[in-house]
Structure 1
Amino acid sequence: MTAGDPDAGSRDAADDRELGPVDYIVVEWAGKQPTGESLPYLMDLVDRGIVRIIDIAFVTKGADGTVAEIEIGELGVEFAIFDGASTSILDHADIAEAASVLEPGSSAAVLVWENLWAAPFATAVRNNGGRLVASGRIPVEALLETLDAVEGS
């Protein structure tokens, strides 16, 4: 049975697990590698059970457009917390796709996480026969512009 097969008659142990929505992001640092300044905030989300990191990869895109993965050990001691965190869900095709949006001469982190906070709700929706048919994200800049426009009218 696959997760996308609503007509399957049997369930296995994986289907009975609460699973929240899974998201990914690609964060770019132009002309440099990440410093680790944001890591305490990410780890706080993990420690509080809000998210579960599923996979993480670091890449560079050379000035000539060549893409290379960065080993966690190359990033500095701050990043050692991610040593062994990679599950290899992100494959070479995923890394290449993520790198396609990067500017030459930049570095990036590709992060996949489960939204644990939403797992009970998402599981209840699935158990009730519901399914996610659309998803999206509103850019913060667009939201702020809209709020400014509403406040100005």
Structure 2
Amino acid sequence: MDDLEQTTLDELGPIDFFVIEFPESHLTGEGLLALVELVDRGIIRVLDLVFVERRSDGTTVRLHLDEQDHRPVLAQFTGASSGLVGDDDLTVIGEILEPGTWAAVLVYENTWAAPLGRALRRAGGQLVAGGRIPVQAILAVLDDIEADSGTDHRLVERA
């Protein structure tokens, strides 16, 4: 993984994160293979990949990649740590997880968008709003449109 500190602000694409919770016994590795493909294709750059477990007694622990040796695909992400995900973040994440589950915390740069961002910044553009629209919300809007419900739909809310 590249060193984030060596990347200038002008070179960065948008940075996102997500936390995905898994039941303890349901790791297939399929998602990790898809993640490797995105990295290999240059679409994203992994800045942090952290695994957290909330044990059945409610305690939360960080899982280290080298402890996951029965999942060889994880070895590719050993050292994927920019330090952006801190202990305070993991505490909050642990509080939202159900006992007996674990989560993958991924912080990634959308490298595909970096050239667009550079061009827009050079032209004086400045991001004033952004967000992510859940797939379920898109499907609900499409269902309403198809039903011609006349409901007003808004993808952007006032801050």
TM bracket, shorter-chain basis: 0.7 to 0.9
1:22 corresponds to which of 10, 15, 20: 15
Residue of structure 1 equivalent to 2:141: 146
Residue of structure 1 equivalent to 2:82: 87
Distance 2:89 2:123 in 1: 32
Residue of structure 1 equivalent to 2:59: 66
In 2, are the aligned partners of 1:33 and 1:107 still within 8 Å (CA)? no
% identical aligned pairs: 45
Distance 2:9 2:82 in 1: 21
Runs of 5+ unmatched residues, structure 2: 1-5, 149-159
Distance 2:38 2:127 in 1: 24
In 2, are the aligned partners of 1:32 and 1:107 still within 8 Å (CA)? no
Residue of structure 2 equivalent to 1:56: 49
Per the TM alignment, residue 85 of structure 1 is displaced from its structure 2 partner at its CA by: 1.7
TM-score (norm 2): 0.79
Distance 1:33 1:71 in 2: 18
Runs of 5+ unmatched residues, structure 1: 1-12
State the aligned residue count.
141
What is the RMSD computed on CA atoms of the aligned residues? Answer: 1.9
In 1, are the aligned partners of 2:46 and 2:109 still within 8 Å (CA)? yes
Call closer, same or farther: CA 1:116–1:139 in 2, change over 3 Å.
same
Per the TM alignment, residue 66 of structure 1 is displaced from its structure 2 partner at its CA by: 1.1
What secondary structure sits across from 1:38 in the alignment?
Answer: helix
What secondary structure sits across from 2:108 in the alignment?
Answer: strand
What secondary structure sits across from 1:90 in the alignment?
Answer: coil
2:124 corresponds to which of 114, 117, 129: 129
Distance 1:33 1:97 in 2: 23
